Homo-oligomer: A and B are copies of this chain.
Amino acid sequence: MDWIEGGICAPLGFEAAAAHCGVKTHNTSKRDVMVIRSEVMASAAALFTTNLVQAAPIAVTREHLADGHAQAIVANSGLANACAPCGRAHATTTCEVAADLMGLKPADIIVASTGVIGQELNIGAITAGLPGIVGALERSAEASDAAAHAIMTTDTHPKEVACSIELGGTAVRMGAIAKGSGMIHPNMGTMFCFVTTDAAISPELARAALIEANRVSFGRITVDGDTSTNDTFALMANGMAGNAEISDKGDDYEAFVAALCELCQKVARQMAADGEGAHHLMTCTVSGATDEAAAETLAKSVVGSTLTKAAIYGCDANWGRVLCALGYSGARFDPERVSVSFASAAGTIDVCRDGCGLVFDEALARTILEEPEVRIEVCVGDGEGEATCWGCDITHEYISINGDYRS
């Protein structure tokens, strides 16, 4: 697998464009609507938030993907179109206007919104802006970058990645853009991640691949424990690479899934690292658990612990909080067999063995924890379960950002 440039426009046959349409009224320089279009009809699948309160675009997209196909994605940032009286009508109108402009059917459009919950979407801004965006669609790295910017809310930088692999001797490409930042505690869905690929794959297997990739990437990150109402993780596979269509779970499927997992983990790490106000990417690997599910439960509890996050912010090797988080995770283990180390580019330091504290060099520990990526390595016994989860520290900036987000 090779990492390549071009984001969502790296795969053949995908174009993108974005503009400021006025959904974000406060900042007229920020792009807030984007479109991704495939030249031909694509196999498509999406996963959504498990929150019981779901934004209107999710219901509309769910219906549109019932046939396993789509040809374009329209998304806005600024307003979530959740808990708003005309939500469904506005999501439908967005699809109708976009479809008309592109010569598609509304049912072939994936629609998504992110931003403030509970305010009416200013649909007029979107419908007025769409002709210009559709007219500007092009296949370029700049277009992918513009689309990545247009879905940002409090993200500090765009998230964009692409790779190429070989399937049966044919080169295929996949690209993704994503947004994360706050209200991140995905559960079977995530914030936004839109994946394009020119691989040929059946809708059923596209969906299976999406579920597997989600499980080991967006399913394993947390910023603040809040699961959003709008999480959408969607994939379009247009087959323009010319590979033999993946229609069973053979070698090509395995290779496709492996690449998709790696692509999504890279995006997930970017999301965690750019969590609202974050100074550190926190990576927790738990090994020696009874099984992978237990390891994931334990690792996610550590990266989700407010107190552990605050300790990492303070570059404080307060491993007692790690043990505490393991203990209340709900997974079983023997507290007297736990070992904990902190690691980063600056080195590794063991701080706990067999459930008891070790004497360690506090200055070295601080140096290790001052790096932007900090790894918390936990071994809970001699089982074979291992999993890695990602999160970020909680900082003064997080409080500032969220103490007055609407204003």
A183 to chain B, nearest CB (A): 6
Within 8 A of B (CB), among A204-249: 224-229
Answer yes or no: A26 CB below 8 A from chain B CBs: no
List, in ascending order, chain B residues with CB within 8 A of A398's CB: 310, 399
Q: Are B83 and A306 in contact (CB under 8 A)?
A: no
A395 to chain B, nearest CB (A): 6
Contact A316 B118, CB 8 Å, known A83-B352, A84-B357, A224-B306: no
List, in ascending order, chain B residues with CB within 8 A of A224's CB: 306-307
A122 to chain B, nearest CB (A): 14
Answer yes or no: A325 CB below 8 A from chain B CBs: yes
List, in ascending order, chain B residues with CB within 8 A of A314's CB: 402-405
Q: Are A324 and B399 in contact (CB under 8 A)?
A: no
| Stoichiometry (number of copies) | 2
Q: Are A356 and B85 in contact (CB under 8 A)?
A: yes
List, in ascending order, chain B residues with CB within 8 A of A395's CB: 399
Residue of B nearest to A116 (CB): B320
CA distance A399 to B356 in the complex (A): 26
A400 to chain B, nearest CB (A): 8
Interface centre among A80, A357, A399, A400 (most CB of B within 10 A): A399
Answer yes or no: A93 CB below 8 A from chain B CBs: no
Of A15-23, A192-200, A255-263, A326-334, which stretch is located at the interface? A326-334
Answer yes or no: A190 CB below 8 A from chain B CBs: no
Answer yes or no: A265 CB below 8 A from chain B CBs: no
What string of 1s and 0s marks CB contacts (under 8 Å) between A149-189 and chain B? 00000000000000000000000000000000011010100
Q: Are B321 and A226 in contact (CB under 8 A)?
A: yes
Of A49-57, A62-70, A133-141, which stretch is located at the interface? A49-57
CA distance A117 to B352 in the complex (A): 11
List, in ascending order, chain B residues with CB within 8 A of A323's CB: 53, 82-83, 117-118, 229
Task: Tell which of B182, B355, B404 touches A307, judged by Cβ atoms closer than 8 Å.
Answer: B182
Q: Are B83 and A328 in contact (CB under 8 A)?
A: no
CA distance A225 to B225 in the complex (A): 10
Within 8 A of B (CB), among A383-404: 394-396, 398-400, 402-404
CA distance A405 to B315 in the complex (A): 11
Task: Tell which of B118, B305, B318 touches A357, judged by Cβ atoms closer than 8 Å.
Answer: B118
Sampled A-B contacts (5; CB under 8 Å) = A52-B326, A83-B323, A229-B324, A316-B405, A318-B406
The 5 closest A-B pairs by CB, nearest first: A117-B320, A314-B403, A53-B327, A310-B402, A118-B357
Residues in chain A within 8 A of chain B (CB atoms) = 50-54, 80, 82-85, 116-120, 182-183, 185, 187, 224-229, 304-307, 310-311, 313-314, 316, 318-321, 323-328, 332-333, 335, 352, 355-357, 394-396, 398-400, 402-407
Task: Known A-B contacts: A54-B335, A83-B352, A314-B403. Give 7 more (CB < 8 A).
Answer: A52-B328, A53-B323, A80-B320, A85-B357, A118-B323, A225-B304, A226-B328
